Structure 1
Amino acid sequence: MSRNEWLPPEQWLESLPKNIAAACALLTDPAGRILVVKPNYRDHWLFVGGQLDEGETPEQACVREVKEEIGLDVELGGLLLVDWTPPLQSRPLPLIVFVFDGGIIEPDRVRLCDDELDDYRFLAPDQALPLLSRNGRRRMPVALEAQRTGATLYRSSID
């Protein structure tokens, strides 16, 4: 491509592929049970978290979402998992999800955000798994393995 064929920066940026990004926390109680929440806008349960706002890092988004959804200020541990899922009919852009180790919290400290969430539970992994979305069921064992080994893992729904 010759220099005369280059796009102006704003046109080039507009031509780049787009992705949606989200960040969530794998939070557990002292007994090792996993915190899952039931959003009022979904049929399935999720880890605490949500989409990144404009200009936010994944860590900032995760900390903000934990505060908004369950009323806790958390200090995140390491990044456990980066997960990529392709576009869907209901979501025409690929989704990149960052799962962080949210640490251990006492169940009585959770203050549920009534605007977004209907319920929360601390459950053993085998009890939490069937409540999660297909992608959540795929992510949870990988995040637990990453937490156990201390290694950040990458997965995609086409693995």
Structure 2
Amino acid sequence: MSSHLPDDELRAFIATLPTRRLASAAIIRDESGRVLVVEPNYKDGWTLPGGTTEAGEDPRTGCFREVLEEVGLQLPAGRLLLIAHGVNQGMWGDSVSFLYDGGQIPSNTKITVQEEELLGYAWVAPEDLDGYVSPRVADRLRTAIGCIADGTTAEVGPLH
């Protein structure tokens, strides 16, 4: 016989548990190994196609849904490359970010930028990523690119 907490006690306990935001993005490369980055209109800097995982959605599904919405690319859902933990991120709290392999596409592929969220896109060589994203994020992206090459998955963090 198992004992269970009454629903109200269980709900009260669950309310005390920590929460984390989930985000996911895709590393999409061209035939030269450059990475597709996008420039959002709601914050400074550049990022990868992707975004926040919606309620009831797993990170992989959310990633490739966001890729389709943001840059108009219907890509096969690639494998997980990197998990990054963010803790104590100010108003953002704690988070987990998932980077997936978006595969390789020709650089002349039509990119349709979602104008509600993005100003534009660029193809950037891995060694030049520091000019677009923070050095810490650039290192993580290069780590994920290395995971593509060697078939591994990396876990990094926490962000501070």
Provide the TM-score with structure 2 as the length reference.
0.89
SS of the counterpart of 1:98? strand
Q: Do the aligned partners of 1:70 and 1:111 also contact (CA within 8 Å) in 2?
A: yes
Partner residue in 1 for 2:137? 136
SS of the counterpart of 1:8? helix
Partner residue in 1 for 2:106? 106
1:25 aligns with 2:26: yes
Q: Do the aligned partners of 1:129 and 1:140 also contact (CA within 8 Å) in 2?
A: no
Provide the TM-score with structure 1 as the length reference.
0.89
Divergent runs of 4+, >6 A: none
The alpha-carbon deviation at position 144 of structure 1 amounts to 1.2
Q: Quick one: structure 1 residues 105 and 152, their matched pair in 2 at CA, closer, same or farther if it must change by over 3 Å?
A: same
Map 1:4-153 to 2 at 5 A.
8-91=9-92, 93-107=93-107, 108-133=109-134, 135-153=136-154
Letter in 2 for 1:124: A
Q: Distance in 1 between matches of 2:139 and 2:148?
A: 15
Q: Do the aligned partners of 1:45 and 1:133 also contact (CA within 8 Å) in 2?
A: no
Letter in 2 for 1:101: D
The alpha-carbon deviation at position 158 of structure 1 amounts to 5.6
Q: Distance in 1 between matches of 2:136 and 2:17?
A: 26
Letter in 2 for 1:113: Q
Q: Which runs of 5+ in 1 are unaligned?
A: none
Q: Deviations over 1:52-76 (max 9, x none)?
A: 0000001110111001100111102
RMSD: 2.1
Percent identity over the alignment?
A: 30
Q: Do the aligned partners of 1:36 and 1:122 also contact (CA within 8 Å) in 2?
A: yes
Letter in 2 for 1:28: R
The alpha-carbon deviation at position 135 of structure 1 amounts to 4.6
Letter in 2 for 1:97: S
Letter in 2 for 1:119: G
